[in-house]
Structure 1
Amino acid sequence: MKEAKQQFNVYLTPETVKKMKHRSIDEQLSLSDLVEKIFNAYLVNTSEERLPQSAPPIEQSEETLRLQPMLHVEDMGRALDFYSKLGATIVHGSRDGDWALLRIGQTELGLLAHPANPDQNEGRVELNFEYGASLEELEKKLRAAGITIARPTGDEGFGYQLQLEDPDDMLVKINQLDPELYN
């Protein structure tokens, strides 16, 4: 039996309403379902913040690399359904629905609805990092340190990307995301 719903009126700026409508379309949810999902995630996150933590939060600056593994999936809808049942919420997603960045607790996971490219040493799971500062400057530092650059910093549909090879020839991607390009 479906849970009863109740109307809840709020007043938002026109820009926020427009963004919420776009987001609901992108996530293929009704506006009511999206708002409920966001409210529930907020309530869970704020209650978690009140719990004592065993370790202090890690200080992050723009120059901090943040791990964002990327999982290649065959069916984005099924994958989103699966991970949402594990408690994931969508942080970002592309308008065409082929990419989504999820948050599960303090962890982020990218889903990509494209097969891995073995010619670029991609596996089903990619090792990706997000970087907030200049990738060109980071690339210079890494070159000087003797790191193998698989592909120099390049303009991508989501921002910029630098590709490295680890000592075992695994591809490591460092992304500088620009939400204006994919939201």
Structure 2
Amino acid sequence: MQLGAFSVSLAVKDIARSKAFYEKLGFNIMAGDQSQGWLILKNGTTVIGLFQGMFDKNILTFNPGWDSAASELDSFTDVRDIQQQLLAQGITLTKAADVSSSGPAHIVLEDPDGNQIMLDQHR
């Protein structure tokens, strides 16, 4: 199962303050719109997302179809196929993708400790 590029999505209280903090750690803006409450920052191959007012808690995020530079992969496992594999293994999803569609979709699940995991396919 190929989950795609990995990042951590952080639920932040003050995006400007968080941005300034992570820039001091060597992160640079890769994408996003601070006025909309979200930024994607990168340091080497490490990617973090800052999200103000969008999520209740931090999320482990995977992007099927992308590498760590958000470049499209030639071959990848569609999120709906991953969903099918997870359900077959008895994993409960808190948000499922519409299997009758194609293209962008996402699913959400939680690990045994309540940590959220999102597979967010953009293509």
Q: Could you list the runs of 5+ residues in structure 2 that have no partner in the other structure?
A: 66-76, 99-103
1:90 to 29, 39, 44: 29
Higher RCO structure (Cα 8 Å, ≥6 apart): 2
Question: In percent, how many aligned pairs have the same letter?
Answer: 29
1:175 to 104, 120, 123: 120
2:82 to 138, 145, 152: 138
- CA-to-partner distance for each residue in 1:128-169, whole Å, 9 max, x for gaps? 222114211111111112111111026xxxx42201122233
User: 1: distance between equivalents of 2:110 and 2:24?
Assistant: 34
1:114 to 53, 56, 61: 53
1:96 Cα shift?
Answer: 4.0
Whose strand fraction is larger, Structure 1's or Structure 2's? 2
On the 8 A contact 1:153/1:160 being kept in 2, the answer is yes
Matched AA of 1:163: V
User: 2: distance between equivalents of 1:165 and 1:100?
Assistant: 23
Name the CA shift for 1:64/1:149 in 2 (closer, same or farther; >3 Å).
closer
Aligned match of 1:127:
60
What CA RMSD, in Å, does the superposition of the two structures yield over aligned residues?
2.3
Structure 1 runs, 4 residues or longer, greater than 6 Å off: none
The answer on 1:153 being equivalent to 2:97 is: yes
Aligned match of 2:20:
81
Whose helix fraction is larger, Structure 1's or Structure 2's? 1
TM-score (norm 1): 0.51
Name the CA shift for 1:142/1:93 in 2 (closer, same or farther; >3 Å).
same
User: 2: distance between equivalents of 1:151 and 1:64?
Assistant: 16
1:116 Cα shift?
Answer: 4.0
Q: Could you list the runs of 5+ residues in structure 1 that have no partner in the other structure?
A: 1-62, 118-122, 179-183
User: 1: distance between equivalents of 2:34 and 2:13?
Assistant: 18
Q: Secondary structure at the match of 1:153?
A: coil
Aligned residues: 107
Rg bigger for which structure?
1
